[in-house]
Structure 1
Amino acid sequence: MTGRLVAVNLGGVTEAEWAGDPSGRSGIDKRPTAGRVAIRFAGVLGDFIGERAHHGGPDQAVYAYAEEDAGWWATELDRAVRPGAFGENLTTYAVDVTGAVVGERWAVGSALLEVTKPRTPCTTFAGFWGVPDLVKRFTVRAAPGAYLRVLREGEVGAGDPVEVVDRPAHGVTVGEVFRATTLEPALLPRLLDVPELPEPLRAKVRRRLDTAGR
Protein backbone atom coordinates (compact mmCIF):
# COMPACT_ATOMS: atom_id res chain seq x y z
CA MET A 1 0.00 0.00 0.00
CA THR A 2 1.45 3.36 -1.03
CA GLY A 3 0.23 6.89 -0.35
CA ARG A 4 2.23 10.11 -0.35
CA LEU A 5 3.20 13.08 1.76
CA VAL A 6 1.22 16.23 1.08
CA ALA A 7 3.41 18.31 3.38
CA VAL A 8 6.11 18.17 6.02
CA ASN A 9 5.32 20.65 8.80
CA LEU A 10 7.51 22.28 11.43
CA GLY A 11 6.40 24.18 14.51
CA GLY A 12 7.92 27.38 15.80
CA VAL A 13 7.42 28.82 19.26
CA THR A 14 3.91 30.14 19.96
CA GLU A 15 3.26 31.96 23.22
CA ALA A 16 -0.38 31.88 24.29
CA GLU A 17 -2.62 31.58 27.33
CA TRP A 18 -3.96 28.27 26.02
CA ALA A 19 -0.51 26.67 25.77
CA GLY A 20 -0.34 23.60 28.01
CA ASP A 21 3.31 24.04 28.96
CA PRO A 22 3.92 25.95 32.23
CA SER A 23 6.12 28.36 30.27
CA GLY A 24 3.12 29.30 28.11
CA ARG A 25 4.84 28.12 24.94
CA SER A 26 3.56 25.62 22.38
CA GLY A 27 4.77 24.10 19.14
CA ILE A 28 1.32 23.09 17.89
CA ASP A 29 1.25 25.77 15.17
CA LYS A 30 3.12 23.83 12.47
CA ARG A 31 3.56 25.10 8.93
CA PRO A 32 4.58 23.36 5.68
CA THR A 33 8.24 23.66 4.84
CA ALA A 34 9.99 23.42 1.48
CA GLY A 35 12.77 21.01 0.64
CA ARG A 36 13.99 17.95 2.50
CA VAL A 37 13.62 17.67 6.28
CA ALA A 38 15.72 15.44 8.52
CA ILE A 39 13.95 12.84 10.65
CA ARG A 40 15.95 11.86 13.73
CA PHE A 41 15.31 9.27 16.43
CA ALA A 42 14.30 12.10 18.76
CA GLY A 43 11.97 13.74 16.25
CA VAL A 44 11.83 16.07 13.27
CA LEU A 45 14.81 18.39 13.02
CA GLY A 46 13.79 22.02 13.47
CA ASP A 47 10.42 21.23 15.09
CA PHE A 48 9.73 22.93 18.43
CA ILE A 49 8.03 20.83 21.12
CA GLY A 50 6.67 22.76 24.07
CA GLU A 51 5.01 20.45 26.59
CA ARG A 52 7.54 17.62 26.69
CA ALA A 53 5.76 15.88 29.55
CA HIS A 54 3.08 14.85 27.05
CA HIS A 55 4.67 15.36 23.62
CA GLY A 56 7.80 14.15 21.95
CA GLY A 57 10.09 11.33 23.01
CA PRO A 58 10.99 8.16 21.05
CA ASP A 59 7.43 6.79 20.95
CA GLN A 60 6.00 10.13 19.78
CA ALA A 61 8.86 11.32 17.61
CA VAL A 62 6.68 12.06 14.57
CA TYR A 63 2.95 12.77 14.25
CA ALA A 64 0.98 12.04 11.07
CA TYR A 65 -2.52 13.17 10.10
CA ALA A 66 -4.47 12.38 6.95
CA GLU A 67 -5.50 15.10 4.51
CA GLU A 68 -8.80 13.26 4.05
CA ASP A 69 -9.60 13.56 7.76
CA ALA A 70 -8.60 17.23 7.71
CA GLY A 71 -11.07 17.69 4.85
CA TRP A 72 -13.85 16.26 7.00
CA TRP A 73 -13.10 18.86 9.67
CA ALA A 74 -13.02 21.65 7.09
CA THR A 75 -16.58 20.74 6.12
CA GLU A 76 -17.69 20.19 9.72
CA LEU A 77 -16.40 23.58 10.91
CA ASP A 78 -16.91 25.43 7.62
CA ARG A 79 -13.36 26.74 7.60
CA ALA A 80 -10.12 26.13 5.74
CA VAL A 81 -7.85 23.55 7.38
CA ARG A 82 -4.28 23.83 6.12
CA PRO A 83 -1.54 21.20 6.45
CA GLY A 84 -0.07 21.31 9.96
CA ALA A 85 -3.27 22.62 11.55
CA PHE A 86 -3.56 19.50 13.70
CA GLY A 87 0.00 19.93 14.93
CA GLU A 88 1.10 17.13 12.63
CA ASN A 89 4.58 16.80 11.21
CA LEU A 90 3.43 14.72 8.25
CA THR A 91 0.25 15.42 6.31
CA THR A 92 -0.56 12.31 4.27
CA TYR A 93 -2.79 11.44 1.34
CA ALA A 94 -4.16 7.95 0.52
CA VAL A 95 -2.75 6.55 3.76
CA ASP A 96 -5.26 4.92 6.12
CA VAL A 97 -3.88 6.53 9.26
CA THR A 98 -6.81 5.62 11.53
CA GLY A 99 -6.76 2.07 10.15
CA ALA A 100 -2.99 1.73 10.52
CA VAL A 101 -2.05 -1.31 12.59
CA VAL A 102 0.04 -0.50 15.66
CA GLY A 103 3.56 -1.60 14.80
CA GLU A 104 3.17 -1.32 11.04
CA ARG A 105 6.15 0.24 9.32
CA TRP A 106 6.20 3.05 6.80
CA ALA A 107 9.03 3.74 4.39
CA VAL A 108 8.97 7.50 3.82
CA GLY A 109 11.80 9.13 1.89
CA SER A 110 14.96 7.56 3.30
CA ALA A 111 13.43 7.13 6.78
CA LEU A 112 11.69 4.09 8.28
CA LEU A 113 8.90 4.83 10.75
CA GLU A 114 6.77 2.60 12.98
CA VAL A 115 3.20 3.37 14.10
CA THR A 116 2.98 3.45 17.90
CA LYS A 117 -0.26 5.01 19.19
CA PRO A 118 -3.03 7.55 18.52
CA ARG A 119 -2.87 11.19 19.49
CA THR A 120 -4.98 12.18 22.51
CA PRO A 121 -6.66 15.59 22.11
CA CYS A 122 -5.90 18.25 24.73
CA THR A 123 -7.03 21.71 25.76
CA THR A 124 -4.03 23.23 23.95
CA PHE A 125 -5.47 21.87 20.71
CA ALA A 126 -8.89 23.36 21.48
CA GLY A 127 -7.34 26.70 22.41
CA PHE A 128 -5.26 26.84 19.25
CA TRP A 129 -8.32 26.25 17.08
CA GLY A 130 -10.59 28.49 19.16
CA VAL A 131 -13.21 25.73 19.40
CA PRO A 132 -14.06 25.18 23.10
CA ASP A 133 -15.70 21.77 22.63
CA LEU A 134 -13.10 20.48 20.17
CA VAL A 135 -11.74 17.80 22.52
CA LYS A 136 -15.18 16.22 22.82
CA ARG A 137 -15.86 16.46 19.09
CA PHE A 138 -12.42 15.14 18.19
CA THR A 139 -12.95 12.18 20.52
CA VAL A 140 -16.35 11.32 19.04
CA ARG A 141 -14.95 11.58 15.51
CA ALA A 142 -12.22 9.07 16.50
CA ALA A 143 -9.83 9.91 13.66
CA PRO A 144 -6.91 10.89 15.90
CA GLY A 145 -3.87 10.60 13.65
CA ALA A 146 -0.89 8.44 14.51
CA TYR A 147 2.34 8.87 16.40
CA LEU A 148 5.40 7.12 15.01
CA ARG A 149 8.79 6.09 16.30
CA VAL A 150 11.85 6.34 14.07
CA LEU A 151 13.53 3.04 13.22
CA ARG A 152 15.87 4.50 10.61
CA GLU A 153 16.81 8.15 10.42
CA GLY A 154 16.52 9.84 7.05
CA GLU A 155 15.12 12.74 5.10
CA VAL A 156 11.58 13.33 3.87
CA GLY A 157 9.82 15.90 1.73
CA ALA A 158 6.43 16.75 0.23
CA GLY A 159 5.55 14.36 -2.58
CA ASP A 160 7.48 11.40 -1.13
CA PRO A 161 5.69 8.05 -1.30
CA VAL A 162 4.48 6.57 2.01
CA GLU A 163 4.79 2.82 1.64
CA VAL A 164 3.53 0.31 4.21
CA VAL A 165 6.34 -2.25 4.20
CA ASP A 166 5.30 -4.41 7.17
CA ARG A 167 2.11 -4.97 9.13
CA PRO A 168 1.77 -7.05 12.35
CA ALA A 169 -0.71 -9.90 12.39
CA HIS A 170 -2.50 -8.82 15.60
CA GLY A 171 -4.56 -6.32 13.58
CA VAL A 172 -5.14 -3.77 16.36
CA THR A 173 -5.40 -0.36 14.72
CA VAL A 174 -4.74 3.20 15.81
CA GLY A 175 -8.48 3.82 15.73
CA GLU A 176 -9.18 0.80 17.95
CA VAL A 177 -6.59 1.91 20.50
CA PHE A 178 -8.14 5.37 20.55
CA ARG A 179 -11.67 4.07 21.02
CA ALA A 180 -10.53 1.63 23.70
CA THR A 181 -8.90 4.35 25.77
CA THR A 182 -11.73 6.87 25.36
CA LEU A 183 -15.28 5.74 24.57
CA GLU A 184 -15.17 1.92 24.35
CA PRO A 185 -13.32 0.44 27.36
CA ALA A 186 -14.63 -3.03 26.46
CA LEU A 187 -11.87 -3.04 23.82
CA LEU A 188 -9.07 -2.57 26.38
CA PRO A 189 -8.13 -6.27 26.77
CA ARG A 190 -7.24 -6.37 23.07
CA LEU A 191 -4.47 -3.86 23.65
CA LEU A 192 -2.49 -6.20 25.89
CA ASP A 193 -1.81 -8.36 22.83
CA VAL A 194 0.06 -5.54 21.08
CA PRO A 195 3.79 -5.74 21.88
CA GLU A 196 4.55 -2.63 19.81
CA LEU A 197 2.30 -0.45 21.98
CA PRO A 198 4.45 1.91 24.12
CA GLU A 199 4.96 0.49 27.61
CA PRO A 200 3.53 3.54 29.47
CA LEU A 201 0.26 3.06 27.61
CA ARG A 202 0.28 -0.71 28.20
CA ALA A 203 0.80 -0.06 31.91
CA LYS A 204 -2.12 2.38 31.93
CA VAL A 205 -4.32 -0.23 30.24
CA ARG A 206 -3.33 -2.86 32.82
CA ARG A 207 -4.17 -0.50 35.68
CA ARG A 208 -7.58 0.27 34.23
CA LEU A 209 -8.36 -3.38 33.73
CA ASP A 210 -7.21 -4.26 37.24
CA THR A 211 -9.38 -1.49 38.66
CA ALA A 212 -12.35 -2.79 36.68
CA GLY A 213 -11.76 -6.28 38.12
CA ARG A 214 -11.22 -8.03 34.83
Structure 2
Amino acid sequence: MRLLSVNLGRAKAVPYTDQPEGVTGIDKRPADGPVRVAVPGSEGFGASGLAGDTVCDTRHHGGDEQAVYAMAREDLDDWERTLGRELPNGAFGENLTTTGLDLTGALIGERWRVGPELLLELTSGRIPCRTFQGHMGEPRWVKRFMEKGAPGAYFRVLEPGEIRAGDPVRIVHRPSHEVTVALQFRAVTTQRELLPRLLAAGGALHPEALATARKYVAEYGA
Protein backbone atom coordinates (compact mmCIF):
# COMPACT_ATOMS: atom_id res chain seq x y z
CA MET A 1 0.00 0.00 0.00
CA ARG A 2 1.67 3.19 -1.15
CA LEU A 3 1.39 6.50 -2.96
CA LEU A 4 2.02 6.39 -6.69
CA SER A 5 1.89 10.18 -6.95
CA VAL A 6 1.05 13.37 -5.09
CA ASN A 7 -0.87 15.65 -7.46
CA LEU A 8 -1.23 19.43 -7.46
CA GLY A 9 -3.42 21.75 -9.53
CA ARG A 10 -2.97 25.30 -10.77
CA ALA A 11 -5.77 27.74 -11.55
CA LYS A 12 -6.83 27.47 -15.18
CA ALA A 13 -9.54 29.33 -17.10
CA VAL A 14 -12.14 26.95 -18.57
CA PRO A 15 -15.62 27.32 -20.13
CA TYR A 16 -17.28 24.60 -18.06
CA THR A 17 -17.20 25.81 -14.46
CA ASP A 18 -19.80 27.93 -12.66
CA GLN A 19 -17.13 29.36 -10.38
CA PRO A 20 -17.49 33.18 -10.59
CA GLU A 21 -13.96 33.77 -11.90
CA GLY A 22 -14.30 30.97 -14.46
CA VAL A 23 -11.21 29.09 -13.27
CA THR A 24 -10.59 25.66 -11.77
CA GLY A 25 -7.72 23.72 -10.23
CA ILE A 26 -9.15 20.28 -11.09
CA ASP A 27 -6.42 19.54 -13.65
CA LYS A 28 -3.84 18.11 -11.24
CA ARG A 29 -0.37 16.85 -12.16
CA PRO A 30 2.17 14.78 -10.18
CA ALA A 31 4.59 16.82 -8.08
CA ASP A 32 8.31 16.25 -8.53
CA GLY A 33 9.31 16.51 -4.88
CA PRO A 34 7.91 16.43 -1.37
CA VAL A 35 4.65 18.21 -0.54
CA ARG A 36 3.61 19.57 2.84
CA VAL A 37 0.07 18.66 3.98
CA ALA A 38 -1.68 20.54 6.78
CA VAL A 39 -5.12 21.56 8.05
CA PRO A 40 -6.42 24.09 5.49
CA GLY A 41 -9.17 25.86 7.47
CA SER A 42 -12.95 25.81 7.57
CA GLU A 43 -15.19 25.29 4.55
CA GLY A 44 -15.63 28.47 2.54
CA PHE A 45 -12.32 29.87 3.72
CA GLY A 46 -9.78 27.04 3.68
CA ALA A 47 -8.73 25.49 0.40
CA SER A 48 -6.56 22.43 -0.21
CA GLY A 49 -4.58 20.75 2.54
CA LEU A 50 -1.62 20.39 0.17
CA ALA A 51 0.86 23.22 -0.19
CA GLY A 52 0.95 24.43 -3.80
CA ASP A 53 -2.44 22.94 -4.72
CA THR A 54 -5.14 25.35 -5.90
CA VAL A 55 -8.81 25.08 -4.98
CA CYS A 56 -10.67 27.81 -6.86
CA ASP A 57 -14.24 27.17 -5.72
CA THR A 58 -14.13 27.07 -1.93
CA ARG A 59 -17.95 27.13 -1.82
CA HIS A 60 -18.03 23.41 -2.53
CA HIS A 61 -14.45 22.17 -2.36
CA GLY A 62 -11.56 22.18 0.07
CA GLY A 63 -11.76 23.01 3.75
CA ASP A 64 -10.99 20.84 6.75
CA GLU A 65 -13.43 18.03 5.89
CA GLN A 66 -12.23 17.75 2.27
CA ALA A 67 -8.58 18.66 2.77
CA VAL A 68 -7.21 15.75 0.72
CA TYR A 69 -8.82 13.71 -2.07
CA ALA A 70 -7.51 10.23 -2.88
CA MET A 71 -8.23 7.91 -5.79
CA ALA A 72 -7.07 4.33 -6.27
CA ARG A 73 -4.98 3.59 -9.35
CA GLU A 74 -6.97 0.37 -9.64
CA ASP A 75 -10.19 2.37 -10.12
CA LEU A 76 -8.54 4.63 -12.68
CA ASP A 77 -7.35 1.53 -14.57
CA ASP A 78 -10.91 0.19 -14.57
CA TRP A 79 -12.16 3.47 -16.00
CA GLU A 80 -9.42 3.37 -18.65
CA ARG A 81 -10.80 0.05 -19.87
CA THR A 82 -14.36 1.40 -19.84
CA LEU A 83 -13.58 4.68 -21.60
CA GLY A 84 -10.87 3.40 -23.93
CA ARG A 85 -8.51 6.24 -23.07
CA GLU A 86 -5.50 6.88 -20.90
CA LEU A 87 -6.08 8.37 -17.46
CA PRO A 88 -2.80 9.50 -15.91
CA ASN A 89 -2.38 9.95 -12.17
CA GLY A 90 -4.33 13.04 -11.15
CA ALA A 91 -6.83 12.66 -14.01
CA PHE A 92 -9.82 12.77 -11.66
CA GLY A 93 -8.47 15.79 -9.80
CA GLU A 94 -7.20 13.63 -6.96
CA ASN A 95 -4.38 14.77 -4.70
CA LEU A 96 -3.22 11.25 -3.91
CA THR A 97 -3.11 8.38 -6.38
CA THR A 98 -2.75 5.17 -4.40
CA THR A 99 -2.08 1.52 -5.13
CA GLY A 100 -2.95 -1.53 -3.06
CA LEU A 101 -5.83 0.16 -1.21
CA ASP A 102 -9.56 -0.49 -1.55
CA LEU A 103 -10.97 3.02 -1.26
CA THR A 104 -14.55 2.02 -2.06
CA GLY A 105 -14.55 -0.48 0.78
CA ALA A 106 -12.74 1.83 3.19
CA LEU A 107 -14.64 2.93 6.30
CA ILE A 108 -15.71 6.42 7.28
CA GLY A 109 -13.35 7.35 10.12
CA GLU A 110 -10.59 5.06 8.88
CA ARG A 111 -7.17 6.56 9.59
CA TRP A 112 -4.15 6.42 7.32
CA ARG A 113 -0.53 7.10 8.19
CA VAL A 114 1.06 8.34 4.97
CA GLY A 115 4.84 8.46 5.13
CA PRO A 116 6.35 8.94 8.58
CA GLU A 117 4.29 11.98 9.69
CA LEU A 118 0.96 12.60 7.98
CA LEU A 119 -2.19 11.19 9.60
CA LEU A 120 -5.47 11.37 7.67
CA GLU A 121 -9.05 10.46 8.61
CA LEU A 122 -11.60 9.50 5.96
CA THR A 123 -14.76 11.65 5.90
CA SER A 124 -16.74 10.86 2.72
CA GLY A 125 -16.79 9.88 -0.92
CA ARG A 126 -16.55 12.46 -3.70
CA ILE A 127 -19.76 13.80 -5.26
CA PRO A 128 -19.32 14.57 -8.99
CA CYS A 129 -20.04 18.09 -10.20
CA ARG A 130 -20.38 20.14 -13.38
CA THR A 131 -16.68 21.02 -13.38
CA PHE A 132 -15.74 17.33 -13.20
CA GLN A 133 -18.11 16.66 -16.11
CA GLY A 134 -16.46 19.36 -18.22
CA HIS A 135 -12.96 18.30 -17.26
CA MET A 136 -13.60 14.71 -18.35
CA GLY A 137 -15.48 15.61 -21.54
CA GLU A 138 -17.43 12.36 -21.46
CA PRO A 139 -21.18 12.13 -22.22
CA ARG A 140 -23.39 11.62 -19.15
CA TRP A 141 -20.26 11.61 -17.02
CA VAL A 142 -21.87 12.60 -13.71
CA LYS A 143 -24.53 9.91 -14.02
CA ARG A 144 -22.02 7.26 -15.09
CA PHE A 145 -19.69 8.15 -12.22
CA MET A 146 -22.53 7.84 -9.73
CA GLU A 147 -23.69 4.53 -11.19
CA LYS A 148 -20.16 3.13 -10.90
CA GLY A 149 -20.07 3.92 -7.18
CA ALA A 150 -16.28 4.09 -6.82
CA PRO A 151 -15.87 7.79 -5.98
CA GLY A 152 -12.54 7.88 -4.20
CA ALA A 153 -12.41 9.44 -0.76
CA TYR A 154 -11.97 12.75 1.04
CA PHE A 155 -9.88 13.04 4.19
CA ARG A 156 -9.34 15.49 7.01
CA VAL A 157 -5.82 16.10 8.35
CA LEU A 158 -5.29 14.96 11.95
CA GLU A 159 -1.50 15.34 12.02
CA PRO A 160 0.33 17.38 9.35
CA GLY A 161 3.36 16.09 7.53
CA GLU A 162 5.41 15.94 4.37
CA ILE A 163 4.71 13.29 1.73
CA ARG A 164 6.03 12.25 -1.65
CA ALA A 165 5.49 9.62 -4.35
CA GLY A 166 6.50 6.16 -3.14
CA ASP A 167 5.61 6.76 0.50
CA PRO A 168 4.01 3.79 2.27
CA VAL A 169 0.40 4.02 3.46
CA ARG A 170 -0.59 2.21 6.65
CA ILE A 171 -4.14 1.82 7.92
CA VAL A 172 -3.66 2.51 11.62
CA HIS A 173 -7.33 2.57 12.70
CA ARG A 174 -10.50 0.95 11.40
CA PRO A 175 -13.78 1.81 13.18
CA SER A 176 -16.10 -0.91 14.43
CA HIS A 177 -19.09 0.23 12.32
CA GLU A 178 -19.79 -0.87 8.72
CA VAL A 179 -20.25 2.50 7.00
CA THR A 180 -18.05 2.22 3.92
CA VAL A 181 -17.37 4.85 1.28
CA ALA A 182 -19.63 2.86 -1.06
CA LEU A 183 -22.51 2.93 1.43
CA GLN A 184 -22.09 6.63 2.22
CA PHE A 185 -21.91 7.53 -1.47
CA ARG A 186 -25.05 5.57 -2.39
CA ALA A 187 -26.92 7.01 0.59
CA VAL A 188 -26.32 10.64 -0.36
CA THR A 189 -26.81 10.15 -4.11
CA THR A 190 -29.03 7.37 -5.46
CA GLN A 191 -30.36 5.40 -2.45
CA ARG A 192 -31.47 7.84 0.22
CA GLU A 193 -33.25 5.12 2.14
CA LEU A 194 -29.76 4.12 3.30
CA LEU A 195 -29.21 7.45 5.08
CA PRO A 196 -30.14 6.20 8.58
CA ARG A 197 -27.28 3.69 8.41
CA LEU A 198 -24.77 6.54 8.14
CA LEU A 199 -25.44 7.61 11.72
CA ALA A 200 -23.30 4.71 12.94
CA ALA A 201 -20.22 6.60 11.71
CA GLY A 202 -20.97 9.49 14.08
CA GLY A 203 -18.73 12.54 14.08
CA ALA A 204 -16.18 10.99 11.73
CA LEU A 205 -18.67 11.49 8.87
CA HIS A 206 -18.54 14.69 6.81
CA PRO A 207 -20.80 17.16 8.70
CA GLU A 208 -23.05 17.78 5.69
CA ALA A 209 -23.70 14.06 5.20
CA LEU A 210 -24.30 13.65 8.93
CA ALA A 211 -26.82 16.51 8.93
CA THR A 212 -28.58 15.01 5.89
CA ALA A 213 -28.86 11.63 7.61
CA ARG A 214 -30.21 13.18 10.80
CA LYS A 215 -32.78 15.21 8.88
CA TYR A 216 -33.94 12.11 7.00
CA VAL A 217 -34.39 10.16 10.24
CA ALA A 218 -36.29 13.07 11.82
CA GLU A 219 -38.68 13.18 8.86
CA TYR A 220 -39.05 9.51 7.95
CA GLY A 221 -37.68 7.54 10.88
CA ALA A 222 -34.90 4.99 10.99
Question: What TM-score results when the alignment is normalised by the length of structure 1?
Answer: 0.96
Partner of 1:19: 17
Q: Which runs of 5+ in 1 are unaligned?
A: none
Alpha-carbon deviation of 1:208?
A: 3.2
1:205 aligns with 2:209: no
Two-structure CA RMSD over aligned residues (Å):
1.1
Partner of 1:149: 156
Q: 5 Å matches for 1:156-167?
A: 156-167=163-174
CA contact (8 A) 1:172 1:190 kept: yes
Alignment-mate amino acid for residue 68 of structure 1: E
1:134 aligns with 2:132: no
SS at match of 2:4: strand
Aligned residues: 212
Alignment-mate amino acid for residue 31 of structure 2: T
Alignment-mate amino acid for residue 82 of structure 1: P
Q: Deviations over 1:183-205 (max 9, x none)?
A: 22221111112121122221122
Alignment-mate amino acid for residue 188 of structure 1: L
Moved more, 194-203 or 108-117: 194-203
Q: In structure 1, what is the Cα distance between the partners aligned to 2:159 and 2:54? A: 21
Q: Which runs of 5+ in 2 are unaligned?
A: 41-48
Q: Deviations over 1:45-101 (max 9, x none)?
A: 000001111100000000000000000111111000000010100000001111110
Alignment-mate amino acid for residue 77 of structure 2: G
Residue in structure 2 matching 1:34, options 32, 37, 57: 32
Partner of 2:176: 169
CA contact (8 A) 1:20 1:26 kept: no
Q: In structure 1, what is the Cα distance between the partners aligned to 2:221 and 2:160? A: 42
Report % sequence identity. 50
SS at match of 1:44: coil
Q: 5 Å matches for 1:71-82?
A: 71-82=77-88
Residue in structure 1 matching 2:101, options 95, 101, 119: 95
Alignment-mate amino acid for residue 6 of structure 1: L
